[in-house]
Every structure is written in structure tokens, then in C-alpha cells.
């Protein structure tokens, strides 16, 4: 389309044909001054004899650049094609608008102009027209789905100045400490200096990743305009949700059921959501609780979507102390809410009855409804189990609408096989979901973290599906928020420094680290693929440089071009010669076909060595946009899914090494995110106004200490492994400040050793009568540096 304005005869009043009226031509005398159009401006001072083209006065002030024959002004000029007899089908298809498209385009442009005028497009009577090139930007669906919001300089610059001042003081302090050793207590002095250097390095590793914190803002309305158009199917990407649980006695089934219900009722197209529950304990209690949950979901999901309630976990919805009638104008809301609360109380009674029944295990184990023994009676030796509760044909809610998929998964366990705890369970879910639904994005939540914001998936899709920057995003991490924290937060469950300061700083570098829950992944990133390489913008052209530099550039480019041409001719001759030799050596037919078959077989073997022996799963890894074969039957897919969760499937593959959740640490979350960043991906930290997820925090000191000990043990395991960020991943896509953050996350447990030693030094000095610093006499600079530090 043409985006500019053609200024033709701005001093006249053109009629429909663009020419002056006949009465004006008769009344206006012939003018000897011919206006000249120069960059859209008319110069009337130039005389007619200076023009190379003399236009008759009745032709108007047109911007003609070639002589035209005389035409009668009384006869209007009719629009006509340049080649009237040419068939329109010869032109093919493209962006050139024909008659119907042109009329539609004009109508759209007029509508946009009317919208601008009504929404405050008042120009104060200046009559300035809008540029057509700016009109597409008015379309909300074409604008970015998110944007960065840097921290205001008035807030961040003082913090940076404090860091710089402390660095300067730190340098003066070590200058004094190293140049003034204690001769009579050299061992104490050296020990203290080593501890102080460790503390300084640890402080530097903690401070510099916070140098450029940012915040982000999403536009959910633009996401809907772009991917959810009226009268068409939703184009939002599918999402598979993973919920992990192990022991139903430690993780109450009612909490897990609320998490599942909040997922099934999420504000997202139902055919785009699938929930997979991993039961690593193979407990029949979890199986029966999910069966009851699927029945209650048929009533709960339509109630949530009808009245748009928040949160959509019934336990927390009915327990919140707010005015639930606020913004609810539906006359039947109170009645249906009361009935739904009664239904939920009955659901709780059934779940609690299952829990009390499960505490008395029969001697021969549990049996199913048909009398067969429950396969998971032996927790460490049982076959793989998959059960689809919702999503298959025939199961709908009480209003007849479809429901998201709900799948129960318990991977096979046999003695003598390493199962890798949560990381192994997550990798089993990756394979099962790729066979059954194969959504391009995955959401991982713990069983005690429910969806508090029903639009959380849409928030993540604003980053993942952004056409400009979404291709390089490997995951979107949400902060952890908790219920049931006391007012003083005595166990520091909120962890404000980490989630509200450190993670924002990492988001300004390469992205936050993965914290184990509340994270939306790109499936291709979990498969160990590298991030797509973005093309660099073009450099400076000769128009930006002086003339002498332009000449040098042109000369160097000409030399390079000549060299490249010579190289190309040489290479082409060599290729022709090699082709002739190859043709002479390989006269037999079908050799090229056999070579392509060999290459395809080699690539297939390589993929099977990386992903395993399942052809269905290997084929699904090549589908970037996800999806499953249309002609595949549910029975065949189910049998294939059982195969990929067998205990020996990962043998001699790259699962846990380069693919999926990475093994080797109890804090597999840090290791998995670190591997993705080393492949060049970046992550995003999303903090919606309403918290996306909420979980249950440790309520006593022993649970909190156990959690902190687990984190520290995982960091030590990573530090002692080959994936230590101090020496792993160089030459990849990991940025230096991001590496500092990962080093700090695996080094911090070791700080306890120098801290313990440094705390014992005063006692040793008191017993020995010696000190770690020399006696300060008249050195004012040293005294000032010590006091400032």
C-alpha cells in the first residue's frame, strides 16, 4: 500500500478529478509564474523561463515531470488501467490491492481516522493530517505484548553510587591490610586476610548482578486481539501443566485436589490445557482423590468461569474474608455460590474419608474396583500407570462444555534402577505429555502451589508468543508467594531480598534462575536445543560518514568485492571439476538416493541416541509448534506413553545430562536453568499485580531448617560437579554477570567455613594476647579506612 500523501495543487480547490473547475479556468488569467515542487514545498518566486518544463496554466499546479499533450479541460479524465486487455489472473497474488480490496482498505482507514478524532484527536484547528504510515500502529493487535520498565534513576543511581563508594573503601582497606602485616602474629593475620578476601568476593558476586534491575508490563488485551479473533478458533498455544506429588500422607490430597481444580478452571481455552499429575509414590489414595476431583470439576469449572471468581482453588476461595458480592451483578450468584459451597463441603468429606481409610492398609494390599490388585502396592517395584480422567470424548461439565485433560501418571520403578527423584519424575512427564498432547509450552507447579491468578498462563504467553522477542525465551518464572505466614515472618518465608530484588536484577541481564515451581517452559529448550540466533542489525552506511571516509570505505569494499568475485570463480571452477570427477566415479543410478537415505538414517540414529527408542516421541521433538498425529488412535498413543515411562528408557541416552531436568543435584531447578542459559536462551521474570501462584510455607522451625539444608546441599553438589558455573559453559551463551549470580548461588554454603573461622579469631587473640591488625599510631588514612569500612 502507498503510505505517503501526494500533494497536488495545494493552492487550488480540486474537484473529483483532481483538476481545477472549468469556471476557475475561464476566470483565472494566464500566469507567467510556474510553481516548482521541491520536497513538498511550492516556490512561486521562480520565473517561468527558468523552468525546464512549461505547463499550460489550465493544467493546474501538478507535480508533472514530463511533457503532456494538450487535452480539453471540459472532458474529464477517466481512470483506466495501463494494459486494459491483460487478464487479472496473470498478476498472481500479493499485497497489491484490487478493486474490492482497495475499497475495503479505504473503509478501514476512514474508520481509524474517525476513531482517532473521537478519542482526542483534536489538533486545535490546525488541520494537520495523520500520516498513513502511523496508522498500523493504532492497531493494538500489532503492538508488542509486553515491555520493559527500567527502575527510575532516582532510585537505582544512589544504590550504584553506594556500591562504587564501598568498592573504593574496600580497595583502601585491603591496601592497608596487605601492606601492614602483623609480624608477631603472622598466622592469625594471614587467616583473617583470607577470610576477609572471601567475604569481599562473596559481596561482589552478590552486588553486581543487581546493577540493572528491571520490571515488566504485559498487555493481555493485545494478546487476545492478536490470537483470539471473533468467529475463529483460538490461536493461543497449548500448555501442558505438570503437578508433582510423592507421599499423600505428607502432602495432603485435599491440597493437591485444590491445585488441580485451579488448573482445570484457568482462564484459557479448554482444548489448549492438559494437566498431568505425577504420583511418584504410586499411592491408591492419590488415584482415588483424583477420581473424586475429576467428578467435582464438572461442577466447579463452569461455576468459576460463569462468575469469574478469584482464586479458583475452592479451599482458599471460600475461606477468604472479603466481600464476595463485590462486582458481582448476576442475580443467581448468591444462590449458586451457596449451593457450590455445600457441594465442596461434601467433596471435602469424601476426600477426608479416603485419607482415613488409607491409613489402615490391608495385609495383601489394595485392590481395584474389578478385584485386581492395585499395581502400586509395592512402591519400589511396580509397572507404569497412566489414567486419563478428563478430556476424552463423552466427559463434559454439567453445562455440556468440554473440560481440559486430566491425566494420572506413575512411572515404572524396579530395583536396581536409579530414579533421580523429582527430576526423573519431571522427565517422565515430558515424554508422556509429548506423546499424548505435545503442547509447545509446559507449566511446572508443586502440588501445594495453586493458581491464584486465573490469567497466569496468559501472562506467560505475552512473553512466549511475542513475535519480536519471544523466540529466545526459554522460560517465564513467577515469584513464589505463600499463604499462612505470620505477621512478622519469623522464618523469612517471603524471602523479599531474593524474589523482589535479586531476581529483578537478573532479569535485566539474561533472566532469573529457575526456582523449581511456578515456571512456564518452552519445550524445545528442555530438549537441549540451542537458542535461535538473532541477526545483527546492519552497521553504518556511507550516508552516515564523511566523504573522505566514504571514499576509503568504497575503495576497501571494491577490493573486497573483487577478491570475493575471484574466490567465487575459483570455488565455482573447483565445484564444477569435483562434480565432473564425481559423475565419472559414480555412474551407477540411485547412488544419490541411497546417500540421502543413509543421511536420514544417521540423523534418526542420532536422535534416538539422544531422546530414546520411541519413534513417536522422537518425531514429536521435531515439531516446534507441538501437536500429535491426527490419525493416531488413543489406544496406540497410550501404549507408546507406557513405554516412554519405563524404568530402562533413559539408559544410554542424554536424559538428565543434556535433555530435560538435569540430574546430579537435589536442587535440580538451578542446574536445569543454568544449562538453558548456557545454550544461549534467556528467561523472563513476571510479577503480575495479582500473584500468579500461592503455596504453603513451612510453619515450624524444623521444616524451615530442613528446607534450607536441602538448598545448601544441592548447591554443594553443583559446586563439586562438572556443571559448576566456575568452569562450565564457557564459549556458550551465558553472560558474565549471569555467571556471577550462578557462582554466588553455589558458593554461598561454603561461606559458613570462613565465617566460623573469622568468628573464632577474637577468642584466639584474647587467649594468646596477639591481634590480627597492627597497632595503629599516626596513620590517619588507615584509621579512616578502617572506620569507614
Kindly give the residue spans of alpha helices, DSSP state H, lying in 586-697: 591-611, 615-621, 634-644, 668-678
Whether residue 67 sits in one domain with residue 7: yes
Ranges assigned E (strand) in 11-84 = 36-38, 41-43
What CA–CA distances, in Å, run from 92 to 80, 87, 95, 96, 105? 20, 10, 10, 10, 20
pLDDT value of residue 588: 44
pLDDT value of residue 480: 93
Q: Which three cell numbers stand for residue 392?
A: 476424552
* CB atoms inside a 10 Å sphere around CB 473: 22
pTM of the model: 0.75
What CA–CA distances, in Å, run from 709 to 515, 751, 752, 768? 16, 14, 13, 35
Domain boundary (61, 79, 97) is at 79
3-state SS assignment for residue 360? coil
Mean pLDDT over 569-594 rounds to 48
- Residue 129 inside a domain? The answer is yes
194-239 residue pLDDT tens: 999 999 999 999 998 898 999 999 999 999 999 988 888 889 999 9
Contact 464, 671 (CB under 8 A): no
What CA–CA distances, in Å, run from 542 to 412, 530, 556, 563? 66, 35, 12, 21
Is 43 a residue whose pLDDT tops 50?
no
763-780 residue pLDDT tens: 999 998 888 888 766 555
Least confident span in 500-509, 561-570, 637-646? 561-570
pLDDT value of residue 126: 44
Count of domains in the chain? 2
Whether residue 69 sits in one domain with residue 43: yes
Identify the band that residue 447 occupies on the pLDDT scale cut at 50, 70 and 90. Answer: very high
> Which residue, among 286, 335, 279, 284, has the nearest Cα to 307 in the 3D structure?
335
pLDDT value of residue 183: 86
- Residue 508 inside a domain? The answer is no
Contact 208, 740 (CB under 8 A): yes
Whether residue 115 sits in one domain with residue 95: yes
> Which residue, among 352, 363, 269, has the nearest Cα to 315 in the 3D structure?
352
Whether residue 58 sits in one domain with residue 1: yes
3-state SS assignment for residue 343? helix
pLDDT value of residue 394: 67
- Residue 520 inside a domain? The answer is no
Question: What span, in angstroms and rounded, lies between the C-alpha atoms of 244 and 695?
Answer: 14
Q: What is the sign, positive or negative, of the torsion defined by CA atoms of 734, 735, 741, 744? A: positive
Is 597 a residue whose pLDDT tops 70?
no
- Residue 311 inside a domain? The answer is no
Question: What span, in angstroms and rounded, lies between the C-alpha atoms of 281 and 444?
Answer: 18
Is 456 a residue whose pLDDT tops 80?
yes
Exactly one of 240, 280, 448, 466 is catalytic; which is it? Answer: 280
Per the model's pLDDT, the better-predicted residue between 35 and 756 turns out to be 756
Whether residue 126 sits in one domain with residue 100: yes
Question: What span, in angstroms and rounded, lies between the C-alpha atoms of 669 and 690?
Answer: 25
Whether residue 34 sits in one domain with residue 52: yes
Exactly one of 240, 397, 466, 669 is catalytic; which is it? Answer: 669
Full strand arrangement of the beta sheet holding 405-410? 385-390, 405-410, 273-279, 239-245, 441-446, 519-522, 473-477, 682-685
* CB atoms inside a 10 Å sphere around CB 551: 12
* Residue 221 is a catalytic residue: no
pLDDT value of residue 35: 46
Q: What is the DSSP string of 95-146?
A: S---HHHHHHHHHHHHHHHHHHHHTT---TT--PPPPGGGGGGG-GGGS-SE
Least confident span in 382-396, 589-603, 643-657, 682-696? 589-603
Mean pLDDT taken over the chain: 79
Question: What span, in angstroms and rounded, lies between the C-alpha atoms of 209 and 497?
Answer: 13
Whether residue 71 sits in one domain with residue 92: no
Q: CA-CA-CA-CA torsion for 113, 114, 116, 120, nearest 10 degrees?
A: 140
Question: What span, in angstroms and rounded, lies between the C-alpha atoms of 441 and 434?
Answer: 11
3-state SS assignment for residue 444? strand
Is 546 a residue whose pLDDT tops 80?
no
- The top-scoring range by mean pLDDT among 137-151, 407-421, 477-491 is 407-421
pLDDT value of residue 704: 86
68-81 residue pLDDT tens: 455 555 655 555 55
**Residue 95 CA from chain centroid, whole number:** 32
Radius of gyration of the chain (CA): 36
Whether residue 104 sits in one domain with residue 40: no
| Structural domain boundaries enclosing 34 | 1-79
Question: What span, in angstroms and rounded, lies between the C-alpha atoms of 203 and 224?
Answer: 44
- Residue 306 inside a domain? The answer is no
Least confident span in 17-26, 76-85, 470-479? 17-26
Domain boundary (79, 109, 124) is at 79
pLDDT value of residue 758: 94
* Residue 280 is a catalytic residue: yes
Residue with cell 502507498: 2
Q: Which three cell numbers stand for residue 381?
A: 517395584
* CB atoms inside a 10 Å sphere around CB 226: 20
What secondary structure, in 3-state letters, does 735-787 show?
A: CHHHHHHHHHHHHHHHHHHHHHHHHHHHHHHHHHCCCCCCCCCCCHHHHHHHH
- The top-scoring range by mean pLDDT among 106-115, 573-582, 751-760 is 751-760
Whether residue 4 sits in one domain with residue 42: yes
Question: What span, in angstroms and rounded, lies between the C-alpha atoms of 241 and 520?
Answer: 9
- Residue 372 inside a domain? The answer is no
Paired sense of beta strands 473-477 and 682-685, if any? parallel
Contact 379, 413 (CB under 8 A): yes
Contact 188, 772 (CB under 8 A): yes
Domain boundary (37, 54, 79) is at 79
Q: What is the sign, positive or negative, of the torsion defined by CA atoms of 120, 126, 127, 128? A: negative
Whether residue 96 sits in one domain with residue 73: no
Whether residue 74 sits in one domain with residue 113: no
Question: What angle in degrees, to the nearest 10, is found between the helix axes of 736-747 and 668-678?
Answer: 160
- Residue 787 inside a domain? The answer is no
> Which residue, among 504, 483, 480, has the nearest Cα to 692 in the 3D structure?
480
Is 552 a residue whose pLDDT tops 60?
no
pLDDT value of residue 83: 45
What CA–CA distances, in Å, run from 75 to 78, 314, 740? 9, 78, 79
3-state SS assignment for residue 623? coil
538-546: list long-range contacts, CB under 8 Å, 24+ apart. none
- Residue 383 inside a domain? The answer is no
Whether residue 93 sits in one domain with residue 58: no
**Residue 337 CA from chain centroid, whole number:** 36
Question: What span, in angstroms and rounded, lies between the C-alpha atoms of 685 and 503?
Answer: 7
Question: What span, in angstroms and rounded, lies between the C-alpha atoms of 451 and 263?
Answer: 6
pLDDT value of residue 591: 44
Binding site as annotated, residues for Mn(2+): 422, 446
Binding site as annotated, residues: 244, 250-251, 280, 421-422, 446
Amino acid at each position: 500500500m502507498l503510505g505517503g500523501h501526494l500533494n497536488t495543487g495545494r493552492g487550488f480547490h480540486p474537484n473529483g478529478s483532481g483538476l481545477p473547475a472549468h469556471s476557475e479556468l475561464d476566470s483565472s488569467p494566464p500566469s507567467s509564474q510556474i510553481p516548482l515542487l521541491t520536497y513538498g514545498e511550492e516556490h512561486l518566486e521562480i520565473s517561468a523561463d527558468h523552468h525546464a518544463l512549461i505547463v499550460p496554466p489550465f493544467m493546474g499546479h501538478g507535480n508533472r515531470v514530463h511533457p503532456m499533450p494538450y487535452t480539453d479541460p471540459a472532458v474529464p479524465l477517466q481512470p483506466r488501467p495501463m494494459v486494459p486487455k491483460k487478464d487479472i489472473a496473470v498478476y498472481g497474488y500479493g499485497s497489491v490491492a484490487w478493486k474490492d480490496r482497495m475499497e475495503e482498505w479505504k473503509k478501514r482507514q476512514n474508520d481509524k481516522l474517525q476513531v482517532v478524532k473521537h478519542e482526542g484527536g483534536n489538533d486545535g484547528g490546525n488541520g494537520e493530517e495523520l500520516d498513513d504510515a502511523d496508522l498500523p500502529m493504532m492497531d493494538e493487535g500489532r503492538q508488542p505484548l509486553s515491555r520493559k520498565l527500567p527502575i527510575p534513576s532516582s532510585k537505582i543511581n544512589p544504590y550504584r553510587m553506594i556500591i562504587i563508594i564501598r568498592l573504593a573503601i574496600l580497595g583502601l582497606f585491603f591496601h592497608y591490610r596487605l601492606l601492614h602485616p602483623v609480624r608477631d602474629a603472622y598466622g592469625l593475620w594471614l587467616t583473617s586476610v583470607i577470610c576477609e578476601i572471601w567475604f569481599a568476593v562473596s559481596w561482589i558476586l552478590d552486588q553486581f548482578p543487581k546493577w540493572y534491575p528491571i520490571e515488566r508490563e504485559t498487555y493481555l488485551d493485545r494478546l487476545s486481539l492478536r490470537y483470539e479473533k471473533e468467529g475463529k478458533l483460538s490461536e493461543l498455544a497449548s500448555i501442558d501443566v505438570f503437578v508433582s506429588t510423592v507421599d499423600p500422607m505428607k502432602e495432603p490430597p485435599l491440597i493437591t485436589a485444590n491445585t488441580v481444580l485451579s488448573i482445570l478452571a484457568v482462564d484459557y481455552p479448554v482444548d489448549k490445557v492438559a494437566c498431568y499429575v505425577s504420583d511418584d509414590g504410586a499411592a491408591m489414595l492419590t488415584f482415588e482423590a483424583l477420581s473424586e476431583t475429576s467428578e467435582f470439576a464438572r461442577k466447579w469449572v463452569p461455576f468459576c468461569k460463569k462468575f469469574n471468581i478469584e482464586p479458583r482453588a475452592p479451599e482458599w476461595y471460600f475461606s477468604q474474608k472479603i466481600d464476595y458480592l463485590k462486582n458481582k451483578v448476576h442475580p443467581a450468584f448468591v444462590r449458586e455460590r451457596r449451593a457450590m459451597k455445600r457441594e465442596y463441603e461434601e467433596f471435602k468429606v469424601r476426600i477426608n474419608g479416603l485419607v482415613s481409610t488409607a491409613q489402615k492398609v490391608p495385609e495383601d494390599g489394595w485392590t481395584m474396583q474389578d478385584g485386581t490388585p492395585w499395581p502400586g502396592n509395592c512402591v519400589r517395584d511396580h509397572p507404569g500407570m497412566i489414567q486419563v480422567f478428563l478430556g476424552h470424548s463423552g466427559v463434559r461439565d454439567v453445562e455440556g462444555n468440554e473440560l481440559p485433560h486430566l491425566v494420572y501418571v506413575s512411572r515404572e520403578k524396579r530395583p536396581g534402577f536409579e530414579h533421580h527423584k523429582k527430576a526423573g519424575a519431571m522427565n517422565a512427564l515430558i515424554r508422556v505429555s509429548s506423546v499424548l498432547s505435545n503442547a509447545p509450552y509446559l507449566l511446572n507447579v508443586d502440588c501445594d502451589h495453586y493458581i491464584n491468578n486465573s490469567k497466569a498462563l496468559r501472562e506467560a504467553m505475552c512473553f512466549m508468543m511475542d513475535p519480536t522477542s519471544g523466540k529466545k525465551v526459554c522460560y517465564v518464572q513467577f515469584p513464589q508467594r505463600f499463604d499462612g505466614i505470620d505477621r512478622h515472618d519469623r522464618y523469612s518465608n517471603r524471602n523479599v531480598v531474593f524474589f523482589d530484588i535479586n531476581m529483578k536484577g537478573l532479569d535485566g541481564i539474561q533472566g532469573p534462575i529457575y526456582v523449581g515451581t511456578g515456571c512456564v517452559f518452552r519445550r524445545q529448550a528442555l530438549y537441549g536445543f540451542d537458542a535461535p540466533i538473532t541477526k545483527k542489525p546492519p552497521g553504518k552506511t556511507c550516508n552516515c560518514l564523511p566523504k573522505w571516509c566514504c571514499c576509503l570505505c568504497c575503495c576497501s569494499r571494491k577490493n573486497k568485492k573483487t577478491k570475493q568475485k575471484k574466490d567465487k570463480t575459483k570455488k565455482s571452477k573447483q565445484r564444477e571439476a569435483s562434480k565432473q570427477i564425481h559423475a565419472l566415479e559414480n555412474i551407477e543410478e540411485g547412488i544419490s538416493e541411497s546417500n540421502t537415505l543413509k543421511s536420514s538414517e544417521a540423523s534418526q540414529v542420532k536422535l534416538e541416541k539422544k531422546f530414546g527408542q520411541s519413534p513417536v516421541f522422537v518425531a514429536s521433538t521435531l515439531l516446534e509448534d507441538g501437536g500429535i498425529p491426527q490419525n493416531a488412535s488413543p489406544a496406540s498413543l497410550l501404549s507408546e506413553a507406557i513405554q516412554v515411562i519405563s524404568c530402562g528408557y533413559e539408559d544410554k541416552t542424554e536424559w538428565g545430562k543434556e535433555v530435560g531436568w538435569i540430574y546430579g543435584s537435589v536442587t535440580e531447578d538451578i542446574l536445569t536453568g543454568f544449562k538453558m542459559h548456557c545454550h544461549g536462551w534467556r528467561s523472563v521474570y513476571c510479577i503480575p499485580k495479582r500473584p500468579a501462584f500461592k503455596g504453603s510455607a513451612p510453619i515450624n522451625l524444623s521444616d524451615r531448617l530442613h528446607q534450607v539444608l536441602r538448598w545448601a546441599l544441592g548447591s554443594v553438589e553443583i559446586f563439586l560437579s562438572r556443571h559448576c558455573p566456575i568452569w562450565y559453559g564457557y564459549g556458550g551463551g551465558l553472560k558474565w554477570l549471569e555467571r556471577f549470580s550462578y557462582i554466588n548461588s553455589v558458593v554461598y554454603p561454603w561461606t559458613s567455613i570462613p565465617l566460623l573461622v573469622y568468628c573464632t579469631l577474637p577468642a584466639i587473640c584474647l587467649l594468646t594476647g596477639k591481634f590480627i591488625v597492627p597497632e595503629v599510631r599516626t596513620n590517619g588514612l588507615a584509621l579512616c579506612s578502617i572506620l569507614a569500612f
